[in-house]
Amino acid sequence: MRVVFMGTPDFAVPCLDALLAAGHDVVRVISQPDRPKGRGQELASPPVVTRARALGLEVRQPRGVNGGGFAEALRALDADVAAVVAYGRILPRSVLEAPRLGCVNVHASLLPRWRGSAPIQRAVMAGDAVSGVSTQRMEEGLDTGPVYLSRALTLDPRETSATLHDRLSALGAALLVDTLAAVAAGAEPVPQDPAGATHAAMLSKDDGRIRWDEPAEASDRRIRGVTPWPGGWADTRRGPLKVLEARPVPGDGAPGVVVSLNPLRVGTSDGLIELVTVQAAGKRPTDGASYVNGARLAVGDPL
């Protein structure tokens, strides 16, 4: 098939590789513009662009998809389908209808659960036992299109968004290839049941803030769900403290109050959170007990 590939981050790269390995003709790769990155704020290309250029593919990085002749240029490519994987923009109807067979999206959830921009993180934060990938024929609604195929996997008890991201990325690549084979054979997608829909809202830094009035299990899921970004953190008397690794343990203690020094354990509304690895502002990551020594904490102190 003649395919236009639209994607931006690391998650989309295996899908691009899989299309080429399956023998599809990727006639153009479309991605987000280069963005400033790092302390020096130098312009850096998205991972999909870097990979596409290494493969010798034609790349475009438009600043927008509404107007400017974008839909017309897409239609002129005479593509059978557009494969859209974490592109990062809402596509208007004119773009969705430009390829002969429309646009197929790879979404990192079992639709209709977790429609939206942060399905991986929200699944971990919610404590879902199962996640997966779905392919949908895109329409103007946010992840509301009918589903071609879905494939599930079981979450590990200590799953983080980082580990789940990589597993779903590989799963999505295989599913995309299977989906395009089904589309070429005339398969029709199945409408979603809106009654099962949940929204995966975009993450903000505040999503990483530990709420001591939450149960320890919820705080643990929160920390794992925001790893690596925005990262778990706690308000302390010495300023924000990054929490890189934690785990819930049985026990009782007032919310936000230090219960144990080695290991460092803090009370919540139900159970204790053990802060395994932390990082104070301007410091290197360290174990909780070493942080206690530097911060001169005592049992009974509010963290």
pLDDT in tens, 79-103: 999 999 999 999 999 999 999 999 9
- The Cα-based distances of 95 to 4, 52, 64, 73, 139 in angstroms read 12, 21, 12, 10, 10
**205-295: which CATH architecture?**
Roll (3.10)
- Name the β-bridge partners of 265: 260, 274
Check if CATH label 3.40.50.170 holds for domain 2-200: yes
Q: Give 97's DSSP letter.
A: T
**Domain spans in the chain, listed from the N-terminal domain onward:** 2-200, 205-295
Q: Give 255's DSSP letter.
A: B
Phi-psi region for residue 261, left (φ > 0), alpha (ψ -120 to 50) or beta?
alpha
Residues of the chain short of pLDDT 50, as ranges, are: none
pLDDT digit string, tens, across residues 98-156: 999 999 999 999 999 999 999 999 999 999 999 999 999 999 999 999 999 999 999 99
Q: What is the pLDDT of residue 6?
A: 98
Given this chain, do its domains 2-200 and 205-295 carry the same CATH topology?
no
